[in-house]
Each structure stands twice: as C-alpha cells, then as structure tokens.
Amino acid sequence: MSGPAASYRVWAPDGVPEVHPGDDLAELIAAAEPGLADGDVVLLTSKVVSKAEGRVIAARDREAAIDAETVRVVARRGELRIVENRQGLVMAAAGVDASNTPAGTVLLLPEDSDASARTVRAGLRKALGVDVGVIVTDTFGRPWRNGLTDVAIGAAGVRVLDDLRGGTDPHGNALAATITATADELAAAGDLVKGKATGRPVAVVRGLAHVVAHDDADGARALVRDAAEDMFRLGASEAVREAVTQRRTVREFTDEPVDPGTVRRAVAAAVTAPAPHHTTPWRFVLLESAQSRVRLLDAMRDAWIADLRRDGKSEESITKRIRRGDVLRRAPYLVVPCLVMDGSHHYGDERRDGAEREMFVVATGAGVQNFLVALAGEGLGSAWVSSTMFCRDVVREVLALPSDWDPMGAVAVGRAAGPPKPRGPRDAAEFVTVR
C-alpha cells in the first residue's frame, strides 16, 4: 500500500430509499450516487444489508434472538451481554438490533458480511463500470473506552489492514508492532456524515484510492483477532479475583429495583459450591415483594425484642440493637439462604453426627459466598446478616417453609448508595500457617 493521501472527502448521499427484503442495494446506491468513481470507498450500514437480505425477524423476545445468535458469552452485567456471535464478532447483544425496524421485529446481522460487500461491489461495477471498495459497517462499543463508533464487519476491494511492521518512523525507529485497522478508520469516518437517525445509510470516501484493491482482497474477517492471540478471551481468573475483591458489605442502598434475573443468575453460581456426599444443601428464598419483606422483618423484630427483654436488656439498648439491624429494611430485595440436610448420614453417634452437620453448614456457607461474589460481579451490593438464624421457627412460619429448612441468615441486595469505605490492610501471611 502506498503512503496516505494529504486529504480526502467524505459525504453521505441523499436519495437512498427505505430498503426492503429482496432490494438490489447496488442499484439503489447507483441511483442515489451515479457519480461514483474508481478508487472511491462506499460504506453502508449493516442495517440496510440485513433488510435487503431478509434478516428481519418477528421477535417479541429480543433476548431469545440474542440467544440464537450467540456462540459464547464474554461478559454480562444485568441484562447487557457482550457475546461472540456466529460471525465471530465480539459485541453487545450479538448485533441484534431493535431500532430502525418495525415494532415487534428485530434485525439480525448479515449471515456473511464479507460476501454481502462482494455482491454490492460487483453490482456497482456492473451498474456504473467503476472499481470501488465496499465496507459494511456496524456500531460497536470498545473495551476501556466510552462511546460508540462504527467499525467494519464486512469488506470487499479494500485493504482492511495496513501492516507497517518492518518500516521506520521519521526518527528512524523500527516499527515492530504497527498494523493500522484501515477499514475501521474508514467506517468511523463515514459514520460522521451518515449519523444514526438521518436516513442516510450510505457514505462515500474519495481521495484514498491507495486503500482500494483491484481484487476483493481480505474481508473484514481479517480484523477479528484469532483466539490464540486474544489476551482477553478468557480472563476468568482475573474476573473472579475482581469480583471477590469488589464484594463488600453494603449497608445503604439506592431505591433502584433489583432485576430478579440477576439474582437468579447469582443463585446459579451459588449452587456450584462443593457439598458432601454429592448433595445439594442450598435453598434460596427470594423475597421480591415489599409485602413479603415487611411481613418477615416485622415478625423477626418482634421475636428479637422478646429475646432481648428476656435477657434483661433495657429498652434503650433494645432500640439501638434493632436499629443496627435495619440494613435489611433499607434494601430493595432480600434473600434468605437455607440449609437442608437431604442426603446426610446418621451415625447414631453425637460426635460424628455433629461433624456431619458441620460439613453441611460449611457447604452452605460456600454457597452463600458464591452468591455474594456473583452479585458483586453483576454490580450489585449485598450484606449478609445472621438474624434469621436466631428465630428460625418464626421465619419458617412467615415464609411457609418446610420444617427441615434451616434459615442461615438473610442477604440484603441492591445498588450501593455510595462508594465503600477503604478496606483495612490485611496481610495474607498473617492468616497462613505452613507445616
């Protein structure tokens, strides 16, 4: 590829009509911009390609459409999913788009955007006799960067990458790792004039003929990093450590409601904890209505006050203690984890039966810790409070739980009202004994 041009021009022609399934995009573009010349680069949004190729489907449930297009979930926060889709692209929602399409439908990305670009390029050559490059674009977010930008997801007749390795900069320094994503830079330039809601889905770049290849060249697939070279493809251990570090006891919550699906995903993580004898000792009672939370907490408060009075505590002392427990009332969502002993062994020996129960308690604690860490990974704050363990009969009665379910505290869940206080330093060596 020769050196860059000193200037170029980019514009978005008017006159491209609404696209329908079966439309010939090359003919529509040629009619809207008959003055295309050799060396131009035509950029068109993936939405019009999807419409022309009939990638519009009826989908009341957008999440189901995303599921169908997803190969691998890379990251998730609440309802937002960053996934690898069937085209190999890592992006939000698998590229499934509910905008610029009739209500009740969604747009899927083209099956093969490189093939789509080749078809449009060949059509423009036939219609206008010109040799142009074609890029299909879509809007992406980027890791570590705010905002969206258009990138190339399909290309034909464009040198999508400019490999500068082996050359030198103006100071004579060797360029050892510089590969420019030319097609992405062109896509972003085109988006500046196309916009997102202007009804101009096509842009033309003129003056950069050196990026246009005489053949179809490598498609945009060349921009997708191979799995073996992707340092951030897995990141599981880093993600787990981050979630564990971010798990903090939160005592003040905002009023923002908690997505029940988020809690259920955290429960799914909780029940992967180890347990004795291949058992499943965890049960999670989700208090999603304000009525259920108030009814339980009122009953627990009454039981707690009765206990404290029996202990001879003063009314002032009781009031202070009750106030400390109000974190559960300030949360928009409560979860009561319970222990069940299904599958436990009975030895008829106090020592061994006691150890058996301790094994199940430890397994339940592991499940609760998984649950708290998973909530932190979803961006939710939590506070585990032991109070239900002191009035199990009351909790079972109010929540209509089986007699063999033992409440193991309660977890307040919600969005933290503010940043946590700095955690005091802890030297791991102080907690380690080596033999």
Residue-level pLDDT at 160: 94
**pLDDT on residue 297:** 93
Give the integer Cα–Cα distance in Å for 34 and 202. 13
Residues 152-180: what's their mean pLDDT? 80
Per-residue pLDDT of 188-210, as tens digits, reads 999 999 976 678 999 999 999 99
Mean pLDDT rounded to a whole number for the chain: 89
The mean-pLDDT minimum among 13-27, 38-52, 77-91, 113-127 falls in 77-91
Amino acid 105: pLDDT: 87
Average pLDDT on 359-379 reads 93
The closest of 234, 112, 133 to 190, measured between CA atoms, is 133
Report pTM: 0.65
Cβ atoms of residues 220 and 154 within 8 Å = yes
pLDDT at residue 229 in the model = 78
Backbone angles phi, psi at 26, to 5 degrees: -60, -40
Element of type H or E holding 152: strand 145-156
Q: Is the pLDDT of residue 236 over 60?
A: no
Instruction: Count Cβ atoms below 10 Å from residue 399 Cβ, excluding itself.
Output: 18
Assigned token pair, 175: 């360029």
9-55+110-229: CATH superfamily: CofE-like (3.30.1330.100)
Please give the pLDDT value at position 2: 56
Q: Does the pLDDT at position 121 exceed 70? A: yes
What residue ranges do the domains of the chain occupy? 9-55+110-229, 236-431
Identify the CATH class of 236-431. Answer: alpha beta
Angle, CA 291 vertex, CA 289 and CA 293 arms, to 5°: 75
Asked if residue 94 has pLDDT above 50, the reply is yes
- pLDDT tens digits for 237-283? 456 666 677 788 998 999 999 999 999 999 999 999 999 999 999 99
Q: Residue 172, class by beta-carbon neighbours within 10 Å (0-12 exposed, 13-18 middle, 19+ buried)?
A: exposed
User: Given a cut of 50, is residue 403 above it in pLDDT?
Assistant: yes
CA distance 288 to 260: 8
Q: Among candidates 121, 98, 108, which has minimal Cα distance to 43?
A: 121
Choice between 163 and 360, residue whose per-residue pLDDT is larger: 360
Q: Nearest Cα to 256, choosing from 335, 336, 334, 333?
A: 333
Share of residues in the chain with pLDDT > 90 (%): 61
pLDDT band at 60 (very low <50, low <70, confident <90, very high): confident
Residue 394 has pLDDT above 80, yes or no: yes
Rounded mean pLDDT, 319-337: 86
| Cβ 42 vs Cβ 36: under 8 Å | yes
Q: Measure Cα distances from 200 to 33, 83, 193, 396 in Å.
A: 12, 28, 8, 62
Rounded CA-CA distance 85/94 in Å is: 5
Q: Highest mean pLDDT range out of 54-63, 237-246, 356-365? A: 356-365
Please give the average per-residue pLDDT across 205-218, as a whole number: 90
Q: How would DSSP label each residue in 210-250?
A: GGB-SS--S-GGGGSPPGGG-TTS--HHHHHHHHHHH--B-
For the record, the structure tokens of 256 come out as 């923002």
Kind and range of the H or E element at 266? Answer: helix 260-270
Query: Does 347 have pLDDT greater than 60?
Result: yes
Beta bridge partners of 414: 381
Query: What are the structure tokens assigned to 346, written together?
Result: 């009975």
Q: What is the pLDDT of residue 326?
A: 79
